[in-house]
Amino acid sequence: MPAPPSASSPRASGRGPALSRRGAVVAVPLTLALAGCRWGPEADGAGEPVSGTTPPPPDADRVLVDQATALIGDTAALVAAAVAARPRLGQQLAAFATLHDAHLRHLAATPVTTSAGEARALAGVLKAERRLQEGLIDLAGRAGSGILARSLASMAAGVAQHVAVASEGTR
Partner 1 sequence: MSTVDDLNTVLAGEHAAVYLFATLGGRTSASAEPTLAAGLRSAHSIHRARRDQLVRMVLDLDGSPEAVAVGYELPNASRTPTQIRRGALQVESRCTALYSDLVARTQGADRSWAMRALVDSAVRQLGFGGLPSDLPGT
The minimum distance between CB 18 and partner 1, in angstroms, equals 41
16-24, 35-43, 104-112, 145-153 -> range binding partner 1 (CB under 8 A): 145-153
Binding mask 78-97 for partner 1 (x = CB under 8 A): --------------------
Phi-psi region of 117 (alpha: psi -120 to 50; beta: other; left: phi over 0): alpha
Q: Which residue's CB is nearer to partner 1, number 119 or number 166?
A: 166
Residue 150 in the binding site for partner 1 (CB under 8 A): yes
* Residue numbers 103-142 binding partner 1 by CB under 8 A: 133, 137, 140-141
Q: Nearest to residue 29, comparing CAs of 89, 90, 88, 86?
A: 90
Residues in contact with partner 1, counted by CB under 8 A, come to a total of 20
Q: Which of 17, 41, 147, 171 binds partner 1 (CB under 8 A)?
A: 147
The minimum distance between CB 33 and partner 1, in angstroms, equals 25
43-51, 80-88, 121-129, 146-154 -> range binding partner 1 (CB under 8 A): 146-154
Is residue 92 a contact partner of residue 60, using CB atoms and an 8 Å limit? no
Residues at the interface with partner 1 (CB under 8 A) = 133, 137, 140-141, 146-147, 149-151, 153-158, 160-162, 164-165
